[in-house]
Amino acid sequence: MQIRQLSGLIVIAATLAGCAAPQGYKTAFTDKGVAGTSRRFEGSVDETFRAAKQTLVQRGFNLEMIEPSTGTIRADRDIADPKKKEISYIISATLDISAGSSAAETVVTIAASQQTVAHTARHEWTSVLGLLPMPVPGKKYNTLVTKEGALQDPELYAEFFAAIDRNLKQARLAAQRAPAVAAPLTAAPMATQVSVPNPNQ
């Protein structure tokens, strides 16, 4: 009897544990994503692609992958915690830059996540003649991801898109101010003088 009761408790506990497990993955591919991660821009895909790439570099991102043919950019940035030197944050961003409803419109969509990383340093020890412990020169460093997830703040994306828009406008203004390249001048053919003898002479 006790064995049956114990088996029943185990089944109930397992069922409750399954119900309490995180179910966030079930919404991974639904349309309930992070708000504000897409923006339409006035400009061609090439112009917007260059402006987005420039914006990432201006903000300290390392460009890991650039694919103009597919309109894809992947970039990472490592930010140290200003108060805790053993903590850093790794920001990973993927941009999709595609044509909009017209040739003069481009849609930029970004997916960004953040990892919180803890860095620890330790000394290794050895023994001399099996008796005296001696530290090994140098340190061993370990890293541990303590937190990870998508960036949820819409203001971060709004600031990034505003910077892309500024770079687009600056690029157009620079193109308008650039002096036009004059077409090369073609020398006109020189007239050839032909002397005709005077029959009266």
Q: Sketch the domain layout of the chain as residue ranges.
A: 34-176
Distance from C-alpha of 53 to C-alpha of 67, rounded to nearest angstrom:
11
Least reliable range by pLDDT among 37-41, 103-107, 131-135, 183-187 = 183-187
Which pLDDT tens digit goes with each residue over 146-165?
A: 677 888 889 999 999 999 99
Phi-psi region at 25: left, alpha or beta (left = phi > 0; alpha = psi -120 to 50): alpha
Q: Look-up: residue for tokens 């595609």? A: 98
- Topology of the domain comprising 34-176: TATA-Binding Protein (3.30.310)
User: In angstroms, rounded to a whole number, what is the distance separating the alpha carbons of residues 144 and 163?
Assistant: 33
| Mean model confidence pLDDT for the chain | 76
Name, in order, each residue with C-beta under 8 angstroms of 64's C-beta and a sequence gap of 6 or more: 74, 75, 76
Residue among 172, 163, 166 nearest 59 (CA): 163
Determine which of 64-78, 131-145, 181-195 has the lowest per-residue pLDDT on average.
181-195
